[in-house]
């Protein structure tokens, strides 16, 4: 079997090797926390520190309001940090997934798409752990979820699709040009500030249309709208802009990945 075989057979192979994706994701989780004294607690420490930093920068130094006085600013940040963590972890892990498993790529055939997909699964697990701990804390501060929480899986799926599209590009490019291992962190650093993780776009009317071109903007606003019980605005027109950009990113990412996939074992 070859990596560049016909599309129909390729997707059948991808389904046949679905258990490999689960095994790789489980292996990555075990390796990540192996010999770590605090174990899976590290999945919480990083977002907790980021929440405090963003709250201090945007809430205290920049004195940006949360919009609704009943919402503590750290919750505004934390609800935006959940989709950002999901995207950044999936994007970063996907970028290194093929190079980090070069011993497998060069020896046996399987659809290489399995690698970035398993990276998404690990990132999703981290986000779910953080979400499971966030909801009770919010409830303790009288921020109760409403029926809008039922729509959260749709915004989670949207974030995963954006991460997959961007991840496929960075994965394929990293195999050929190792410079992208250094470029990816810069992209994430810039991306965090052009994504409304620490602020609300409806409080920046002059920048809102420009920020909407970032497909993650709509997902972050959707997460907030779901988790904070509708106490923040959700702009449907932003989602209308985000969806075609997400589709374009996903289609082109998949196209480039499939185009270069057959050469991965030669250059990795």
pLDDT in tens, the chain (268 residues): 454 455 667 888 888 888 888 888 888 887 777 767 777 777 778 888 888 898 888 888 888 876 667 788 888 898 999 999 999 999 988 888 888 877 777 777 788 888 889 889 889 988 998 898 888 888 888 888 889 999 999 999 999 999 999 999 999 999 888 888 888 888 999 998 899 998 888 888 888 888 989 999 999 999 999 998 888 888 888 899 999 999 999 999 999 998 888 877 777 6
* Residue carrying the six token digits 């934390």: 78
- Within 10 Å of residue 152's Cβ, how many Cβ atoms? 18
> CA 26, CA 13: separation in Å to the nearest integer?
20
Cβ–Cβ < 8 Å for 4, 263: no
* Residue carrying the six token digits 């106490």: 231
The whole-model pTM stands at 0.87
């Amino acid at each position: 079997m070859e990596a560049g075989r016909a599309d129909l057979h390729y997707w059948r192979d991808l389904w046949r090797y679905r258990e490999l994706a689960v095994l790789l994701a489980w292996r990555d989780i075990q390796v990540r926390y192996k010999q770590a004294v605090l174990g899976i607690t590290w999945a919480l420490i990083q977002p907790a520190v980021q929440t405090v930093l963003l709250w201090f920068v945007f809430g205290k130094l920049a004195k940006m309001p949360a919009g609704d006085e009943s919402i503590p600013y750290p919750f505004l940040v934390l609800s935006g940090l959940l989709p950002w963590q999901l995207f950044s972890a999936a994007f970063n892990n996907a970028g290194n997934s093929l190079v980090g498993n070069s011993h497998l790529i060069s020896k046996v055939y399987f659809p290489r798409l399995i690698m970035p997909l398993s990276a998404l699964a690990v990132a999703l697990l981290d986000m779910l752990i953080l979400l499971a701990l966030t909801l009770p804390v919010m409830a303790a501060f009288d921020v109760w979820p409403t029926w809008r929480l039922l729509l959260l899986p749709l915004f989670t799926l949207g974030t995963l699709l954006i991460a997959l599209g961007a991840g496929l590009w960075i994965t394929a490019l990293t195999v050929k040009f190792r410079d992208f291992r250094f470029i990816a962190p810069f992209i994430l650093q810039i991306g965090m500030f052009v994504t409304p993780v620490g602020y609300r776009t409806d409080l920046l009317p002059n920048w809102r249309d420009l920020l909407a071109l970032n497909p993650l903007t709509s997902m972050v606003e959707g997460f907030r709208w779901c988790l904070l019980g509708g106490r923040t605005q959700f702009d449907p027109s932003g989602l209308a802009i985000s969806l075609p950009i997400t589709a374009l990113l996903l289609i082109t990412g998949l196209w480039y990945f499939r185009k270069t996939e057959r050469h991965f074992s030669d250059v990795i």
